[in-house]
Structures are given as structure tokens and as C-alpha cells.
Structure 1
């Protein structure tokens, strides 16, 4: 049986700003319907990769394709296939949550934008807040609304550029749950993050971007094999911080 082509394919991607070389030959592939985490510190080039893949920036060299379309020669087809959620929620605080969704629905010319808005409000746990102004939303609620807006039109590929930046622990967990549900529904997600626990929790595969190149890539199990075997010690297991937090706030 023929193997499906990758949702995202990047080869030899290079980008410089004057004398600063940001990307020095980046290579990776993302399997359709998976979560791929691009992990790196601030300034590693993660956002530059996302901007190139979303046709907002032209590379100096290399090739990249999204959903089978070349970002250089078929930018319109790429844009039709993707949605991009940046580091800060791109929502209108004056409008209500429902009005934000309806506005995007009309801009994307979907049929029955109000029905689409109602469905997404329910899907993202925002139905009770749909008629409130977004200025009253918590950080986690704004980010969930932002991601919901990015799903209008059912794009097969979503770029999430550091989606939990600035969120409190509860907001981060809310966004994690949304991302996992999206992947379970078949959406391909490229997630950039500087948080190790975020990549560990969410990603099917992880690539570490350092000083402009991918220095290692694989599943979490494969990356663990790169380290020396751990010494086995039998100790009483302590709850993780996440387990403590969920127990205290009463969430499941």
C-alpha cells in the first residue's frame, strides 16, 4: 500500500537577516494527522520557520511544501490549506466571542457562519460565554477562541506558534486539551514551543531547533534512547505538579 505523503515537508531551508543567519539548512517532515513539536529557545528560528511555511516570508534557499503545495510556487493553495495562530490571541476584545467567530466566517465565505459559530462555541467550551465581550475572557478562554477561529473553513494543517505564551497553568491545560482533540480529529498540527513539558505532553514527534539547524528529531522514546541508561532506584512515587494542580482545582 502506498504511504501517504507528508503534510509538511521541509528540506534545506535557509534564511538570513542581513549578516545574521537564522536558518542554516532546516530539514523535517510532518506526518498527516499528527502533532509535531518544533522545540527551541527564544531566537532559535521557530517563528521564522512558521512564517515561511505560511507564505508570510520568503526563504533564501531550500524547499518547503504544505499539504502537497510548494510554498514558493503555490502560495495561494498553501494559504487555502492552513490556519495560523500566533503567540498572542488575535481576537477583537470589543466584540463578543460569537461575533468574532461570525466575522471570520463571513471573511472566509463559509455557509451559515452563525451556525458554524455556535458549533465552535460548544466544541471549545465557550457556549455560556458566547454573548460576552471578549474583554471579559480569561487568557485561556481567549486562546481557545483564537484557535476556534482558526478552524473556520476546516483547514487540514494548523500552525500554532507558542500558543501558551503568557497563560497561567490552568489556561495552558485548557489549550493542551484543545490541541489533543484537534489531532484526534485528523488535523495536522505544527506546534512551536520553548516549554519542554508542552512538547513532552502533546507531540507525536519532536524536533529540536538550535542555532539554525535541527540537531535531533524523533519520538520522545527515540530521544530518550540518546541518553545513557538510567540507574534504577526503587522509591516511593510522588505526585507530579500537574496531578497536584488538577486535584486542588477539582478538574479532570
Structure 2
């Protein structure tokens, strides 16, 4: 994963995503490329055009907090995107992602027998999962990394009723994680592999969208229980940077809750389980 001028790449991508009219600027239709011009971003941010150009080109490596805040406003970045900008512009390298799941967390997760629960790492590796989560994802050849599952396993397009949305959210979540852990080798390996093997991933990654995944409603099509709608919550594991406990739940008394109960019952003939996450990360 190329990091020589990631700040400049991010600025260019987000600049191209802002319509001039949304920034209060005229658009006579004569623009050759979409989005704002560099001099327009500089004007909106209150910095010189030369300084902004040097930022994009990577010749200015130490922007102040005030400058970054002004550029975030000019580019109309939301909180997540602005946080990503600050991490790129003023990086702190003291934090490393943790990949070992604590025994106490494993016990907690295994005790959640009525809901699918699994622990995800900074690179979206599935580090541990309870029985119901394993059954929920049983249609995949490998239950190892959420991004690899979405982009490399054909079953994903059957499983996710809105595959495009799932793909965008997953890539945006990895993008957010990449700035928090800029030296995480595992993230680089995942991005490198998917960039080569999946044009869809490469296209989304190049858009530099930041979407930390914290909660959302999911709609799946499961081969055993049919369509099921679940609510997703990602709970940060504060004792293990980069880890999140992901939990799905259904509305009580709903058909989706009944589907979870059915999913929790062992089938007469279980499908071959996915390979262990540790083996797949080797």
C-alpha cells in the first residue's frame, strides 16, 4: 500500500468529490475535471495557493492543526473524514493494533448464544467468532477477512442483498482504520492483495471515502433461513486497539428473531466450516 504521499492523494480525491455549487462557488460548466480547483480550496481555507499545492504534492509535510481544520471545512468533510485528514496530516505512530483476543472477551462472546457475535481486527480479519456467527456466514468458503469475503467470494453477491452498499461501507471502514494504524503490515497486505485481485475494490479504495462502521441495519439472504434483517453494532475493545466486538440482533418477536432461533439449531448435516482465521492470516 503506497504511503509516500497519502495526504496529497486524499486531498485530491476529496477535492474532486466537492461540487463547486455546494461550496458556494459558481460553475459555468467549463470545468475539465470534476470538483474544486486547487486555488479554490486554498481560497476557501484561507491559505495561499502555493502552500496548498505543496501540500498536495507532498512538499509540505507538517501542516498545522489550524490549517487542517480550515481545509476540512473547505472540503466539507464530516467528522470521520476530518479525523482521517488529521491522522494523515499529523500522524502519531505510538499505537499498534492488537490481534490476540483476550480469554475474557472470548468467554463473553461465547456466552452470547442467542446472537451472532465475532471479533474483528484492524484489517477486518475475523479473529474469533461464536457458533451463531459461524452459522450466519457458513455459505462463504472462508470466514477469515470481511473484505476478502465481500470482494473475492462469489457467494457474497447472493448473501448481501445490497452488495454495492456493503462493499462501500467495508472499504470506507478499512480506510478509516488505515490512518489510525499507518504502519500496520496486515492492512497493507489486505489492501495489496485486493487491489490486484479485485477491480471493484481498487476502484472504491481510490475514492478515499472514510466510513467507520459503528452501527447499521443489515439485510442478508441466507441459504438455510432465507432473508433476514439484523441490526449491527460494533463495540470498540478499549483494551485491544483495533479490535471491535461485532454483534447482530433482531427485533424481538419478529420473523428475523425466529430466523435467528432456527439458525441456532444445528442442521442435520452442517456445511463444512470455514478455515481458522489464524491459518488464513499466515
The two structures share one fold, judged by TM-score above 0.5: no
Instruction: Give the TM-score band, short-chain normalised.
Output: under 0.3
| TM-score, structure 1 normalization | 0.24
| Richer in helix (by share) | 2
Structure (1/2) with the larger strand percentage: 1
Q: Which has the higher contact order (CA 8 A, sep 6+)?
A: 1
> Given the two structures, how large is their TM-score scaled by the length of structure 2?
0.22
Choose 1 or 2 for highest CA Rg: 2
